[in-house]
Structure 1
Amino acid sequence: MPDAVVIGAGPNGLVAANVLADAGWSVEVLEAQQEPGGAVRSDRGVHPDYVSDLFSAFYPLAAVSPVLARLDLAAEGLRWSHAPRVLVHPLRDGRCAVLERRVQETASGLEEFASGDGDAWRDMYEVWSRVGQDLVQAMFTPFPPVRPGLRLAVKLRVAGGLRLARKLALPVRRLGDEEFRGEGGRLLLAGNALHADLAPEAVGSGGFGWLMSMLGQSHGFPVPVGGAGALTAALVSRLEHRDGALRCGERAVSVVVRGGRAVGVRTAGGETVNARRAVLADTSAPALFRELVGEEHLPSRLLRDLERFQWDFATFKVDWALTGPVPWTAPQAAGAGTVHVADGIDSLTRFASQIAMGQVPDEPFALLGQMTTADPSRSPAGTESAWAYTHVPQHIASDAGPDRITGRWDAREQEAMADRIEAQVERFAPGFRTRILARRILAPTTLQAMNENLHNGAINNGTTALHQQAVFRPVPGTGRPETPVKGLYLASAAAHPGGGVHGAPGANAARAALRSHGLHTLLHRAQRL
């Protein structure tokens, strides 16, 4: 009988298992899919000569994560690679907002949009340099973040805390208007906010756009050498070196509860895997509480709150094997790992408004990855392994475009939406479609079939909006991984601090389990040594 059973071998589940194994617990991880990784996987499914990331691809949060740093995955062979430029937002007139690897070069580029915008960017980054490390520590600590929160509070006083807090609460459109005279800086902030489901007019979108922009400036948007699956392979290897067990193709169908305590997991094959001390679930909150636990073991208030749980936008993704680099009109886009494809902030607002109205956007904002540019091992020299995703409504009411997309996502609708994304890229890179050697379409329903946590393609396991963050994540409560069932912990991005590949929800859940058995202090001392 293992000390703990972990449901799900996504990054958070694997981080949780590693933290428990470090404390001397025996751990068994059950994964429904035939391979581990959750949304951190890669393959050669588009073309045998091209490595494609199936889901996530760039990892600024992993680069800054103290959780992953403590695991020392370099010892398991993980290496990181960077594109020459972090991120760009080209415009159709050839101008381009560029997030460079060096702050002075980013500032110089923004100065070309408007005089003084370079200084504005440097001022933003100076604030980040003062408070960023403590802010990240506070974010990745179980709520409330007492020690890092106190350190952050002291530094915020020096950095103008109330004014900074106001800036972070602003909609990103307003933040951009206040900080920059030209369009370049505004585009960088707004495009980064839409890495989540935050419209330019959403409260708090300024904070998220600022965070992602500053992470990109300080740490870049790195990728694992060889594909996203290399990150998963390192986590699995580390766990196996500590005698942790991973079983793929084992779907959990229920958490066994006796006397109000989680004591094991029942699989689809009829096996009961007992847990001596804890069960940790790297699953969505609705799946854990409604499907795996059962209403009879849960308070009615939690069940009522779950009725208000909000998913983030659905996602539609296309992978490409390209015979050559993307022929951008803006030459600076050629060296970037990440490209935001939209013709200005008004286009971003229009895109987000259409989704809010349940419409499939007619000119979708595309977040495009140039993976060979970021990691030359991904495809033959002179070619490009690329992808782009866009968002669509969770529930489609109508199509703002001409294709009558309804959300059935049959073959016709998938092809029509993929063509629409390619047409959007073509506006900024004429001749793009002539370089497509092969493509793969991942509709919202396909993404969910490949990873059940991606509900209809929701990549953040619940909205990033303020009403479902911190003490409100996944429902109003403590913002912690503990659940109403003793010995059961929520270890997924549905828990604080939410989406992104950084491992914090898994580590928080593992430490909560250890703390309940008086082992957290011992683990903390071991990590310090």
Structure 2
Amino acid sequence: MPDAVVIGAGPNGLVAANLLADAGWTVEVLEEQEEPGGAVRSDRGVHADYVSDLCSSFYPLAAASPVLARLDLFEQGLVWSHAPRVLAHPLTDGRCAVLDRSPGDTAAALETFGAGDGVAWQGLCGIWDRIGPDLLRALFTPFPPVRATARLAARLRAAGGLRLARQLLLPVRRLGDEEFHGEAGRLLLAGNALHADLGPETAGSGGFGWLMSMLAQAYGFPVPAGGAQQLTWALVRRLQRRGGVLRCGERVVGIVVRAGRAVAVRTAIGETVPARRAVLADVSVPALYGRLIDPRELPGRLLADLRRFQWDFATFKVDWALGGPVPWAAEAAATAGTVHLADGMDELTRFAAQIAMGQVPDRPFALFGQMTTADPTRSPPGTESAWAYTHVPHRVRGDAAERGTITGAWDPGEQETMADRVEAQVERFAPGFRGRIKARRILAPPTLEAMDANLHGGAVNGGTTAVHQQLFFRPLPGLGRPETPVEGLYLASAGAHPGGGVHGAPGANAARAALRRAPGSLLARSRRALGRGAPLHAGTWP
């Protein structure tokens, strides 16, 4: 009987399993798919000579994560690779906003768009220098992060206090208007905000866009040399060398609860896998509370709150094997690993508004990845392994394109139509792009979900990044920590604080909670002595 069973071998599940194994626990990880990784996988499915990342590709949060740093994954063969430049946002008139690892170079480029914009960018970097380390500590520790928050509060007071807090809560359009005269700085912030589901007019999108921009400045947007799967294999090798067991092709269909405590899981083939101390679930919030646990074990208020859970945007992705480099009209875009494609702030707003109205965008904002530019091992010399993803509504009410025919059924015809639309967007900024395509692969929302059940409809963040579902509201009001109403059961997925991105914090938080509260631990003995050993029930639900 293992001490712990971890459901799901995504990065958070593997991080949790590693930390438990480090503490001397025996651990079994059960993964539904035939290979581990969740949204951190790669293959040669587009073309035999090209490595393509299936879902995620660039990992600034992984590079910044103290959780992953402490695992020393370089000892397991993980090597980070960087493109010459981090990020570019070309415009159809040939100009290009560029984010470089050097703040001075970024500032100098922004200055060509508007007098004083370089100084404004340096000012935003100065805020990061003052509060960035404490902000990251607060993000990567369990909620409420008391010590990190106290340090951060002191830093905030020194950096301007309420004015800075206001600045970070602004919609990114307003933040850009207040800080910059030209368009480049505004676009860098707004494009980074749309890495999540935060449109230019959304409260808090300014802070998120600033955070992603500063991570890009400080850590770059690195990629694992050889493909995203190398990050996963490093976690797997580390776990196995510590005695952990990984079982793929094992779908968990239920969690066994006795006397209010999780004691085992059931698999699709009828096997019951017991857990002596804890069950950790690297699964989506609706899957955990809506499918894996008998609703009779949960407070009624939780089930009511679950109906209000909000996913982030659905995702549509296209992978390409290109016979040559992308023919960007703006030459600076050729050296960036990540390229944002929208012709100005108004086009970003239009895109977000169409999704809000349930329409498939006619000119989709696309995040474009040049993987060989970032890692030369991804394809033969002189070629490019590339991808682009955009967002679409979960419930399609219409197609914004003139004579549009996409209904959201995502049958083969609709997938091809949408892929052509994404390619047309790339062509606006890189005339002749289609002539470089040797092969392509389409990953529509249902395809992404089939590859990883946590990616519901292609939602990649585990739930919206909007402020109403963050901090103590994430994933539901009163559930800001990895503990659940079922004793011995912990949420270890991106649905938990601090949310999406590959950084391992939800898995680490769940593992630490399990170690603190396991039978025999000091905390568990103290709780029993105080008469607090019983699980939460509806009457005590926050």
Give the TM interval when normalised to the shorter protein: over 0.9
Q: Which residue of the partner structure matches residue 31 of structure 2?
A: 31
Aligned-pair CA distance for 1:378:
0.2
| 1:254 equivalent in structure 2 | 254
Letter in 2 for 1:289: Y
Aligned residue in 2 for 1:130: 130
* Secondary structure of the corresponding residue to residue 391 of structure 2: strand
Q: How far apart, in 2, do the equivalents of 1:397 and 1:317 lie? A: 20
1:399 Cα deviation from its structure 2 partner: 0.4
Q: Within 2, Cα distance between the matches of 1:496 and 1:101?
A: 28
Aligned residues of 1:511 and 1:520 also touching (Cα < 8 A): no
Q: What is the distance in 2 between the residues matched to 1:520 and 1:174?
A: 49
Match of 1:462 in 2: 463
Deviation at 1:478, TM superposition (A): 4.0
Q: What corresponds to 1:432 in structure 2?
A: 433
Give the corresponding residue for 2:173. Answer: 173
Q: How far apart are residue 112 of structure 1 and its match?
A: 0.2
Matches within 5 A, 1:396-415: 396-401=396-401, 402-415=403-416
2:424: which partner in 1? Answer: 423
| Structure 2 residue matching 1:196: 3-state secondary structure | coil
- Which structure 2 residue ranges, 5 or more long, are not aligned? 524-542
List, as ranges, runs of 4+ consecutive aligned residues in structure 1 with deviation greater than 4 Å. Answer: 518-521
User: After superposition, what is the alpha-carbon deviation per residue over 1:429-484, rounded to whole angstroms, capped at 9, x for unaligned?
Assistant: 00000000000000000000000000000000110000000100111014100000
Summarize the alignment of residues 165-314 of structure 1 with structure 2, pairs less than 5 Å apart. Answer: 165-314=165-314
Change (3 A) 1:5 1:95: same
Structure 1 residue aligned with 2:68: 68
TM-score, normalising length from structure 2? Answer: 0.95
Residue in 1 that maps onto 2:443: 442
CA distance in 2, matches of 1:478, 1:130: 31
Query: CA–CA distance in 1 between the matches of 2:303 and 2:446?
Result: 26
How much has 1:130 moved relative to structure 2? 1.1
Partner of 2:37, secondary structure, is coil
Give 1:294 shift: 1.8
User: 2:198, 2:220 → 1: CA distance?
Assistant: 21
1:343–1:511 distance in 2 versus 1, CA, 3 Å: same
User: For 1:352-398, what per-residue CA distance to the aligned partner results, in whole angstroms no more than 9, with x for missing partners?
Assistant: 00000000000000000000000000000000000000000010000
Q: Which residue pairs with 1:525 in the alignment?
A: none
2:29 alignment partner, SS class: strand
User: Aligned ranges for residues 377-526 of structure 1 at < 5 Å?
Assistant: 377-401=377-401, 402-517=403-518
Distance of aligned partners of 1:323 and 1:519 in 2 relative to their CA distance in 1, 3 Å threshold: farther
Q: Which amino acid aligns with 2:273?
A: V
Rounded to whole Å, the distance in 2 between the matches of 1:394 and 1:311 is 9
Shift of 1:163: 1.3
Q: Taking every aligned residue pair, what percent have the same amino acid on both sides?
A: 75
The alignment partner of 1:109 has SS state of helix
Deviation at 1:161, TM superposition (A): 2.0
CA RMSD of aligned residues (A): 0.9
Aligned letter for 2:472?
Answer: V
Q: Residues of 1 paired with 2:308 and 2:187: CA distance?
A: 32
Q: 1:155: Cα distance to partner? A: 1.4
What's the CA shift for 1:102? Answer: 0.5
What's the offset of the Cα at 1:91?
A: 0.2
Q: Which secondary structure state, in structure 2, belongs to the residue aligned with residue 497 of structure 1? A: coil
CA deviations on 1:219-265 (whole Å, 9 max, x unpaired) are 10000000000000000000001000000000000000001100010
Supply the distance in 2 between the matched residues of 1:297 and 1:160 (Cα, whole angstroms).
Answer: 47
Question: How far 1:520 sits from its partner (Å)?
Answer: 8.7
In 2, distance between residues paired with 1:376 and 1:5? Answer: 38
Map of 2:535 onto structure 1: none
Cα contact 1:403–1:416 (8 A) shared by 2: no
- Alignment partner, residue 45 of structure 1: 45
Q: Distance in 2 between matches of 1:440 and 1:285?
A: 29
Asked if structure 2 preserves the Cα contact closer than 8 Å seen for 1:514 and 1:520, the reply is no
Aligned residues: 521
The equivalent residue for 2:540 is: none
Alignment match, 2:526: none
Which secondary structure does the structure 2 equivalent of 1:452 belong to? Answer: coil
Counterpart in the other structure of 1:326: 326
Alignment of 1:331-370 (within 5 A): 331-370=331-370
Aligned residue for 2:381, secondary structure, equals coil
Name the counterpart of 1:160: 160
Deviation of 1:154 (Å): 1.6
Asked whether the 8 Å contact 1:360–1:392 carries over to 2, the reply is yes
Deviations 1:58-79 (A, max 9, x none): 0000000010001110010100
Alignment deviations for residues 327-376 of structure 1 (CA, whole Å, 9 cap, x no partner): 01000000000000000010000000000000000000000000000000
SS in 1 for 2:70: helix
CA contact (8 A) 1:479 1:496 kept: yes
The residue type equivalent to 2:496 in the other structure is A
Secondary structure at 1:86 match in 2: strand
Letter in 2 for 1:412: G
Contact 1:18 1:239 in 2 (8 A): yes
How does 1:81-120 map onto structure 2 within 5 Å? 81-120=81-120
> Matches of 1:477 and 1:504 in 2, distance apart?
19
Cα distance in 2 for partners of 1:154, 1:101 equals 28
- Aligned partner of residue 105 in structure 1, secondary structure: helix
Instruction: Give the AA of the match of 2:509.
Output: N
Contact 1:84/1:335 (<8 A) preserved: yes
Residue 403 of structure 1, CA deviation: 3.1
Distance in 2 of aligned mates of 1:264 and 1:162: 48
| TM-score normalised by structure 1 residue count | 0.98
1:276 is paired with a residue of what secondary structure?
Answer: coil
